[in-house]
Homo-oligomer: A and B are copies of this chain.
């Protein structure tokens, strides 16, 4: 073994947005071997002496045309599991990226990406559920250990729902309490069993009434803003 061997280092991005009441994540399809045709996180090599945040934004832009807001990205985990990349020794630094829907001007595959896909993502019965339209994806539909990284992302957000609400950055400025409850329930299903009055009581310190109402299917509902 070469004592001075160096790994390839990549940045992987777990990008979230909120679309029609659902949480979605941006995956690409791999253009090249060894995972040609598989879904994958937007990913790429860090360049020499490149700041890691800069690398994340550059890679996502190159592969998907999406412009991340550096205020809304944060490190998730660095993964160096031996042989996680069949090509070579690779360590990856995974990021959480939160996109406001209106900040997404376009997404268009380029570079190593054959196509881009916004997938619905949620924890259902304690398992990661990932769907591309009607198609449910499973572990082996994803390249590398990207299924595990998505799971770590979901768990991280779940673990912080009551105190660190950076996930709210994907939401519009005003939402009904039911919308917040469903957002929380995407990461932690126990919230879905809570009625909105109890949810309101528990989280009222996080949200401010706007004074406006929106029509829902059955009634008018008050809207609330949030602070992250």
Q: Given the complex, which residues of B lie within 8 Å of A78, measured CB to CB?
A: 52, 75, 78, 93
Q: Given the complex, which residues of B lie within 8 Å of A9, measured CB to CB?
A: 6-7, 9, 80, 91
Interface residue? A201 (CB, 8 A): no
Contact status A49-B6, CB under 8 Å: no
Q: Given the complex, which residues of B lie within 8 Å of A47, measured CB to CB?
A: 1, 3, 5
A48, A50, A93: most-surrounded residue (chain B CB, <10 A): A48
Interface size class of A (residues with CB under 8 A): 20 to 34
Partner of A80, one of B7, B51, B80, B82: B51
Find the B residue at minimum CB distance from A163: B163
Interface residue? A46 (CB, 8 A): yes
Question: With the chains together, A52 CA to B6 CA distance in Å?
Answer: 14
Question: With the chains together, A79 CA to B52 CA distance in Å?
Answer: 8
Find the B residue at minimum CB distance from A50: B82
Q: Given the complex, which residues of B lie within 8 Å of A45, measured CB to CB?
A: 3-4
Majority-rule SS of A interface residues: loop
Jot down 5 A-B pairs with beta carbons below 8 A, ordered by A.
Answer: A3-B45, A7-B9, A48-B89, A49-B82, A75-B78
Please report A residues at the B interface, Cβ cutoff 8 Å: 1-9, 45-52, 55, 75, 77-83, 89, 91, 93, 162-163
Question: With the chains together, A4 CA to B9 CA distance in Å?
Answer: 10
Contact status A51-B82, CB under 8 Å: yes
Question: With the chains together, A47 CA to B79 CA distance in Å?
Answer: 14
Given A4-B45, A6-B6, 15 more pairs with CB closer than 8 A: A2-B48, A3-B45, A5-B48, A7-B7, A7-B9, A9-B9, A9-B91, A46-B91, A49-B82, A50-B80, A50-B82, A51-B80, A51-B81, A52-B91, A75-B78
Partner of A6, one of B7, B75, B81, B163: B7
Question: With the chains together, A83 CA to B51 CA distance in Å?
Answer: 10
Find the B residue at minimum CB distance from A159: B164
Contact status A89-B49, CB under 8 Å: yes
Question: With the chains together, A8 CA to B55 CA distance in Å?
Answer: 17
Question: With the chains together, A205 CA to B80 CA distance in Å?
Answer: 37
Q: Given the complex, which residues of B lie within 8 Å of A6, measured CB to CB?
A: 6-9
